[in-house]
Amino acid sequence: MPGTFEPIPGGGAAVALDDVEISIIRSLAVQLLELIGPGPGGDAPEDPLAELFAEGPSEPPSDPVLRRLFPDAYGDPEGTPEAKEAEEQREYSAEFRRYTENDLRAGKRDNALAVVRTLDALNSVGDGGAVLKLSVAESRQWLGALNDLRLAIGSRLDIADEEDTDLLYRLPDEDPRKPMVMAYLWLGGLQETLVTTLMP
């Protein structure tokens, strides 16, 4: 089971992680939480009903990672040749974002928090590691968080397609991006094996 998720009886998944791997995943999840930010009313809203009806932003985020995590729903208006069509796309995307982004952020926040909490609840099994066991629901949250982490890292590495990923394998060891590349590829392996465990 080292380094890959495997199914466990009754559903869910398990993976053996060493202390360094636990620390890396936890640190990345915390950074993702900081990037996503608290909910519209902060961490403890005084009026949950007001938060339910709160409108989100209508403009895309300025940070490229957040733009990758919360893309426009109606494509990239910059790539649309007709000015009128581009303007319509911007309006539709703004309207969609206003009513969905808060929920999307909350979902991504919940997934990242689930990663931190499950890692914090681990008990060491000796040799500086532990076996992480996830329920089906926790596995789905981990899957969402792993996807978001890869999108975030991929955005920082300017990965736009499969060709960019192929180039990562050929980076020299002295390249300053190498640690981030290794994390990106490793998280991809975890994500792939976790998907397999959730397939019927």
The tens digit of pLDDT for each residue in 33-74 reads 999 988 655 544 555 555 555 676 667 788 889 888 888 777
The tens digit of pLDDT for each residue in 120-163 reads 999 766 667 899 999 999 999 999 999 999 999 999 988 877 77
* pTM metric for this prediction: 0.82
44 burial type by CB count under 10 A (0-12 exposed, 13-18 middle, 19+ buried): exposed
- Provide the pLDDT for residue 43: 47
pLDDT beyond 70 at 80: no
Mean predicted lDDT score pLDDT of the chain: 83
In the chain, DSSP assigns E strands to 6-7, 13-18, 129-134
